[in-house]
Structures are given as C-alpha cells and as structure tokens.
C-alpha cells in the first residue's frame, strides 16, 4: 500500500505520523472546552463528537461519540469499525466533496490537550519478550536457568492496576515501598532507589468475550494498539515478587500514548512471530502473521537538558503476539471486556542497544549508561523525562502513535501526610 493523499496538506509528508493511512483515535480538549473524541490527520484533529452531532458521521441509531472515550465504538465490533474508517476516508481524502463541511471541524494539535483515549476496564501485563526474559533471568538465576520451565509454552502475565493507567505527558511520582538490601536483616520503608521503565506495546480489547476464544478470534477482537511504559520499581519488586510475582512495584503508573492506532492501519505491517524451540499447544498456535513490524525507541532527558536515545528495537521481537496473549487469558473461562488493556511485556532485541529497560541496559546497575550530556544513569533520577516512540514505515508514508512521555518527580517527603 502507498500513501493515500488527503486535502489536509500536512498529512501527505512521507515522515508524518498521521497520514490518511493511519487515522488514529484519541480524546482531546481545547481551552475552556469539554473533551471530545477526535481523529488525528496531519497536524490537525478532526472533532468526531461534533461531526456526529452535525450528521456528518452516522453509524448507529444512537450516538457513539457523545462521551469522552472510544469504548462505545469499540464494543460495536469490526463491521462498525470498518464503516467509520471508510467514512473518514471519504471525508478526508483529496478531492472530497465534503471538504467545506469538514474543514471547520479541524483543530490544531498544538492547541489541544490530550486525555486517555478509552476507559480502561482492566489491565494485564505480560512477560512475553524472549530477549528481555533471557536477560533478566540470566541476571538473577544464571544463563542455564534464565527462562522458567513454562516460558516457552505459555505467555506469562499478571493482573495490574487499571486505575494507574495514565496518558502520555502525566508526571510520575517516585514511589515509596518496602525495600530490603542484602546487607540488612530487616526491610525498611523508603522511596524506591531503582526506578525503571519498560518499553512495551499495549493491545486494546474491543469486542468482549465470554469463555475461551481461539487465537484468530482474539485477533479479531483487538481494536488497536498504543505505546505503553510499564514504570517499575525494581528494588520493591526484588523484595516482594516471591512467591506471587509483581505487585506494588508495578502499581505506581502505566503510561500510554494518546492515540489508538487501529489494527486496520497496521495491517500492511503484519509479520510472523520468531521461530520456536517447542511447538505450542493447539489452542495457542499461530494462525498467520500476528505481530507487526514497528520500530521503537526510548529517549532519556535530564531536567532542562537534551534527550539521549538509549534504546532502539522493534515489536517484531516479541515471542508471543497480543492475539496469543488474549487467547491464553481466556482459557480459564475468564471474560474479557471492552477496554481491557494487555501490555506486551518489555520489548528487547538481541543486542545491548536494543534492550527495552534500564535494568537490562545497565545490567542491574553494574554498567551505567553515559548520556550525550556526559551524565551517567543506572536507573531513573528525579527530573528525568522518558519518551517512548514508535512508527511503521510504508511506501511513502509513516504510521505513528504519538509520543509516550513521563517525567519522574521526587518522592513525597512523607507519603502519609495530607
């Protein structure tokens, strides 16, 4: 597929993240205005809430965009998703007869504040990147025991906190927690000293399900994808994780990018999962290309200073696809809801510059990074801004997600003081 031209001129640049081929969904507001559903096109946002109110978009008998989140559309299913995409193409394509009606509904992205694009029902995070799991396992258990026995057979995950999911640009407060150093007999309650990021993708469930579903059905139920930063307090995690895994170490915040990139926009970039050592059981087997070729990167910027790119990798490094993760999630009969968010797990590649967390990049703090500013980092320091970016490159166009950014604020002096 090549670039589809739009009458919105800024959408036609080959490196712009929001061409007509993309049409990602978000929620925005302008000064003194209520949040509305919007679609990014070039440097602008098409106000979908107003377009529906004025009759330019009619998909169902009842309005879908009168609330400031995309869940009502998501639960309609693939036929209505496709109908909206077709209608947007007809409104925004070069030569559209309705340009005059649509143009007044465009808002400059520079004038907009972005909000969470959907109401997060529940959040599950996985541990499904082979290189990340191998690196972390090697650090803590040695290379011969790096992967748990089940890792090559099922996507391992844990249930996280939907209430902690925030949109890009939200500041993150360094958490307090119970820590225990190896040279101390007892734990202490202190601010985290080893605060980290995890570069991930997030898959959003659109169509709900009851009971087990196949990998193909799971893929059909996924509405779209966002960039996801699973902020992680490694020292809290090290003390708490046995025997039940992460808990408070992962509960501080999960940042997502402001735009939902639909599965339809990513269709040209499908690719296969990596070769497997062991054949998966039938209910988890690949049924076609289920991953996507999406370049990813992470930058770190100390307060008031320029950013340094600290990692570059690709979503195609995942061992399990989001469809396999979703299918596995349902095997117990677990219902999945519209707005459920599935974190991919940290995405790392086979070489050091491709590692998607500071834990790996600094090898547990033993090999600090040197930034372009000359400063060194093993983990995040107060005032540092971390930014995740992602894009897929087509024939003369780019599919982008918008940045996923957060700045770390100092821990509270007393977390219980009101």
User: Tens of pLDDT along 108-158?
Assistant: 999 999 999 999 999 999 999 999 999 999 998 999 999 999 999 999 999
% of residues, the chain, pLDDT over 90: 96
Cα–Cα distance, 88 to 107 (Å, whole number): 16
- Contact (Cβ atoms closer than 8 angstroms) between residue 64 and residue 42: no
The token pair at 393 is 């490159």
* Band (418; pLDDT cuts 50, 70, 90): confident
* Catalytic machinery residues: 132
Q: Is 198 exposed, middle or buried (0-12, 13-18, 19+ CB in 10 A)?
A: buried
Whole-number Cα distances in Å, 38 to 70, 213, 222, 293, 412: 9, 31, 20, 26, 36
Cα R_g (the chain), whole angstroms:
21
- Is pLDDT at 244 greater than 90 in this prediction? no
Q: How many CA atoms lie within 13 A of 318 on its CB side?
A: 34
Tokens 């007393």 belong to 414
Q: What sign does the dihedral 171-174-177-180 (CA atoms) show?
A: positive
- According to DSSP, the residues that pair with 233 across neighbouring strands are 195
Q: What is the pLDDT, as a whole number, of residue 242?
A: 86
When pLDDT is averaged across residues 328-346 and rounded to a whole number, the result is: 98
- Is pLDDT at 32 greater than 90 in this prediction? no
Q: What is the pLDDT, as a whole number, of residue 182?
A: 87
Phi and psi at residue 388, in whole multiples of 5°? -100, 135
169-213: pLDDT as tens digits? 999 999 999 999 888 999 999 999 999 999 999 999 999 999 999
Phi and psi at residue 409, in whole multiples of 5°? -90, 155
Q: What is the pLDDT, as a whole number, of residue 183?
A: 85
249-271: pLDDT as tens digits? 999 999 999 999 999 999 999 99
């Amino acid at each position: 597929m090549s670039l589809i031209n739009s009458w919105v001129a800024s959408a036609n640049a080959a490196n712009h993240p929001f061409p007509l081929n993309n049409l990602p969904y978000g929620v925005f507001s302008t000064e003194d205005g209520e949040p509305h559903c919007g679609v990014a096109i070039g440097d602008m946002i098409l106000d979908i809430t107003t377009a529906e109110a004025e009759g330019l978009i009619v998909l169902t008998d009842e309005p879908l965009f009168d609330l400031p989140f995309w869940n009502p559309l998501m639960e309609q299913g693939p036929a209505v998703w496709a109908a909206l995409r077709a209608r947007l193409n007809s409104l925004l394509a070069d030569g559209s007869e309705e340009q005059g009606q649509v143009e007044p509904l465009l808002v400059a992205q520079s004038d907009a504040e972005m909000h969470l694009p959907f109401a997060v029902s529940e959040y599950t995070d996985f541990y499904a990147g082979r290189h990340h799991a191998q690196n972390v396992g090697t650090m803590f258990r040695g290379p011969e025991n790096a992967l748990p026995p089940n890792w090559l057979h099922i996507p391992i995950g844990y249930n996280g906190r939907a209430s902690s999911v925030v949109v890009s640009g939200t500041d993150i407060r360094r958490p307090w927690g119970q820590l225990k150093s190896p040279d101390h007999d007892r734990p202490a309650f202190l601010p985290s000293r080893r605060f980290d990021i995890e570069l991930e993708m997030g898959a959003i469930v659109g169509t709900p399900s009851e009971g087990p579903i196949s990998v193909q059905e799971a893929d059909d139920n996924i509405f779209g994808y966002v960039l996801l930063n699973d902020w992680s307090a490694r020292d809290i995690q090290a003390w708490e994780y046995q025997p039940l895994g992460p808990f408070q170490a992962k509960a501080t915040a999960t940042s997502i990018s402001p735009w939902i990139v639909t599965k339809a926009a990513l269709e040209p970039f499908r690719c296969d999962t990596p070769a497997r050592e062991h054949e998966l059981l039938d209910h988890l087997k690949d049924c076609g290309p289920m991953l996507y070729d999406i370049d990813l990167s992470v930058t770190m910027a100390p307060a008031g200073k320029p950013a340094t790119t600290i990692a570059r990798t690709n979503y195609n490094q995942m061992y399990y696809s989001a469809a396999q993760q979703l299918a596995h999630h349902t095997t117990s009969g677990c219902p999945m809801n519209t707005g459920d968010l599935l974190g991919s797990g940290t995405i790392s590649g086979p070489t050091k510059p491709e590692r998607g967390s500071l834990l790996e990049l600094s090898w547990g703090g033993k090999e600090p990074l040197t930034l372009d500013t000359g400063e060194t980092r093993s983990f995040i320091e107060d005032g540092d801004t971390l930014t995740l970016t992602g894009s897929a490159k087509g024939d003369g166009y780019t599919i982008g997600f918008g940045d996923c950014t957060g700045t770390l604020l100092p821990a509270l002096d007393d977390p219980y003081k009101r």
